[in-house]
Amino acid sequence: MSDDEHESKPARDRSQVTIIDIARMAGVSKKTVSRVINESPLVREETRKKVKEIIAETGFTPNPQARALAFRKSFLVGLVYDNPSPQYVVNMQRGILDTLGDTAFQLVLRPCDRGDENYRERVRSFIVQHKPHGIILTPSVSEDETLAEILREEECDYVRIASLELDVPSRSIRTHDAQGAEMAAAHLAQLGHKRIGHIHGPKTFRSAHERLSGFRSGLESYGLELAPELTVEGAYTFDSGVSSATRLLNRRDRPTAIFAGNDEMAVGVYVAARKAGLRIPEDLSIVGFDDTPISARIWPPLTTVRSPIREVGRAAADLLLKRGSGSENLEELQSFQLELIVRESTRSV
């Protein structure tokens, strides 16, 4: 380096093909090449074809840094999340990456902590600085209306994933948790259980509310009532599952079945049952939610509700990428099938 500072060597000078080379080879202007790249309809079909051929021959790919600078918008898609479950996070990432694939778009991770007072401002600075193409929000941050307002203020496109519709349809992906909980209720009702307990997640999570109300209405359609004294609040954690279940199982009128709001807590119920000397499923049936890997590895294998997280991630990214292309089919992108996975933790009374 002739001058100073920057320590890292510049990338190899493999005289890269640029839009100028393509323009010259096709005998058109840069702008026309640019139009082809950006799929403008305002190019004669013949011209477009020629340019496309040359692009294919040369293997040219437009420089994303240059495009980002000119567009004032980068090719990053930000995932803003606070869900602590590794399985959930990884599945979501996989789904988004399925859609992003080998496009120019890159997935950038932005974990956050709602406990941090500045968390919203951190998201804002990310947006202002990096001008992402869009943001995908998962529960529970997706439920933060103030954050959504900030994104709108900064004119950043986004999609909110949640258990119910929180925003306009084009910015929402619903996960239909209530429906999954209904399936759990039907299963237990059909097995003849009457005294059924439920450990729901923290009330600050919409999913906890949706699963609770879905479970309740599911029981009601079988003429059963979800007894208030058998409905307790957990924290979606293993430990809270243990303590909540211990409370339920210590009652003289203990339930014969417990539906836990997620698998983590369901596994906690196993521990509480063992401590109480109860056999699963002979003395206690257990249903979880999420179908995390542990549900198939624990003994006995856990009956649980599978939520198609990866598909949800795929759909969220689709929504972002297809925006305005007219090809998005909101209906299709927003209908997910939950599934009850019946294993060996449930049995008829």
Burial 109-121 (b: 16+ CB within 10 A, else e): ebebeeeeeebbe
Task: Please tell me the count of residues contacting its own copies according to CB under 8 A.
Answer: 66
152 in contact with DNA (CB under 7 A): no
Tell whether residue 325 is a contact of its own copies (CB under 8 A): yes
Residue 143 carries which DSSP code?
G
d(CA 168, CA 159): 10
User: What are 154's two structure tokens?
Assistant: 């900064």
Residue 30 binds DNA (CB under 7 A)? yes
Q: Does 5 bind DNA (CB under 7 A)?
A: yes
Residue 61 engages its own copies in binding (rule: CB under 8 A): yes
Question: With binding defined as CB under 7 A, does residue 39 bind DNA?
Answer: no
The number of beta carbons lying within 10 Å of the beta carbon of residue 310 is 17
The CB-of-159 to its own copies minimum distance in angstroms stands at 14
Closer CB to DNA, 74 or 334, in the complex: 74
Is residue 29 within the footprint of DNA (CB under 7 A)?
yes
Q: What is the residue whose two structure tokens read 């995390």?
A: 292
CB 82 within 8 Å of CB 112: yes
Which x/- pattern over 173-202 shows residues binding its own copies (rule: CB under 8 A)?
Answer: ------------------------------
347 DSSP assignment: -
Q: Are 219 and 189 in contact (CB under 8 A)?
A: yes
- Provide the β-strand partners of residue 110: 80
97 phi, psi to nearest 5 deg = -65, -30
Q: Does 74 bind DNA (CB under 7 A)?
A: no
- Beta partners for residue 125, in sequence order: none
Q: Which of 30, 274, 279, 342 binds its own copies (CB under 8 A)?
A: 274
Q: Give Rg (Cα) of the chain.
A: 26
Instruction: Decide if residue 39 touches its own copies (CB under 8 A).
Output: yes
Structure tokens, 106: 């890159």
Minimum CB separation from its own copies for residue 110, in Å? 8
* Only segment of 46-54, 92-100, 264-272, 316-324 that touches DNA (CB under 7 A): 46-54
As given in the structure block, the two tokens for residue 247 are 């409370």
- Residues 138 and 240: their CA atoms lie apart, in Å, by 22
Among 18, 170, 237, 243, binds DNA (CB under 7 A): 18
Residues 140 and 9: their CA atoms lie apart, in Å, by 43
The interface region with DNA, picked from 55-63, 134-142, 151-159, 314-322 by CB under 7 A, is 55-63
Q: How many other CB atoms sit within 10 Å of the CB of residue 129?
A: 9
Is 117 near its own copies (CB under 8 A)? no
Residue closer to its own copies (CB basis): 65 or 348: 65
How is residue 108 written in tokens? Answer: 């950038």
Give how far Cα 159 sits from Cα of 48, 74, 79, 327, Å: 33, 17, 10, 17
- Binding to its own copies (CB under 8 A) within 144-163 occurs at 154-155, 157
Which among 320, 309, 20 is positioned nearest to 170, based on CA atoms? 320
Instruction: Give the shortest CB-250-to-its own copies separation in angstroms.
Output: 20
**Interaction of residue 24 with DNA, rule CB under 7 A:** no
**Which residues would be at the binding site for its own copies (CB under 8 A)?**
4-12, 35, 38-42, 61, 63-66, 68-69, 71-74, 76, 86-87, 89-91, 93-94, 97, 102, 104, 106-109, 111, 122, 125, 129-131, 133, 154-155, 157, 238, 267-268, 270-271, 274, 293-294, 296-299, 323-325
**Which residues would be at the binding site for DNA (CB under 7 A)?**
1-6, 10, 16, 18-20, 27-35, 37-38, 41-44, 46-48, 60, 62-63, 66-67, 69-72
